[in-house]
Amino acid sequence: MELEALRSIYEGDVCFRELSPVSFQYRIGESGDPKAFLIEVSWPETYPQTAPVISMDAFFNNTISSAIKQSILDKLMVEVEANLGTAMTYTLFEYAKDNKEVLMENQPVNTVTSVSNSISTGTPEVPPSKKKDKKEQLSKTQKRKLANKTDNKGELPRGWNWVDVIKHVSIFKFSYLLSN
């Protein structure tokens, strides 16, 4: 029953992910937020009489120090103990969402974990030069036809496409007359 409730509550929520019918992930915070983290809750056979397995070993949490992870897990286990015997997955996710700032208060914001390995071969990298967009080149014949159509300012004369408009209107009138 809790599974159906979780599916209906978090339907369309991009932070919630059902890994299996007994395992769920929830991202606390926005994906670009340096203080965001991911909680994974798995139900054992005897859940809810026994505590669910809570994990923060997801790759998403690599920037979080192990001390902070353990602190979050400890605080979540207090919630588990208080709710033992009842369905608590939703309660755990909501507790983490509501207390995100408190749970992550000691996490440094500017932690960088990416390491770039580059090997220099002796030749400096040259940035690619920006190519200028070429103008469309017209042939002499095309230029002559364009000059004959336009006035001295390079604009088409007023009414140059009236023939097309008149054709369209006359076809419309003709089809209208036929239908009546």
Give tens-digit pLDDT for 118-149. Answer: 343 444 454 555 556 667 787 888 888 777 77
Residue 56 has pLDDT above 70, yes or no: yes
Higher-pLDDT residue of 140 and 107 is: 140
Q: What are phi and psi of 39, to 5 degrees?
A: -110, 135
Residue 141, C-beta contacts closer than 8 angstroms, at least 6 positions apart: none
CA atoms of 6 and 139, how far apart (whole Å): 68
For residues 78-107, give the mean pLDDT: 85
Amino acid at 76: L
Q: Taking the mean position of all CA atoms in its chain, how far away is CA 74?
A: 31
CA atoms of 48 and 46, how far apart (whole Å): 6
Residue 117 has pLDDT above 50, yes or no: no
pLDDT (0 to 100) of residue 113: 46
3-state secondary structure of 41: strand
Phi-psi category of residue 88: left, alpha or beta, with phi > 0 → left and psi -120 to 50 → alpha: alpha
Higher-pLDDT residue of 45 and 122 is: 45
Q: Are 39 and 28 in contact (CB under 8 A)?
A: yes
CA atoms of 35 and 165, how far apart (whole Å): 63
Phi-psi category of residue 85: left, alpha or beta, with phi > 0 → left and psi -120 to 50 → alpha: left
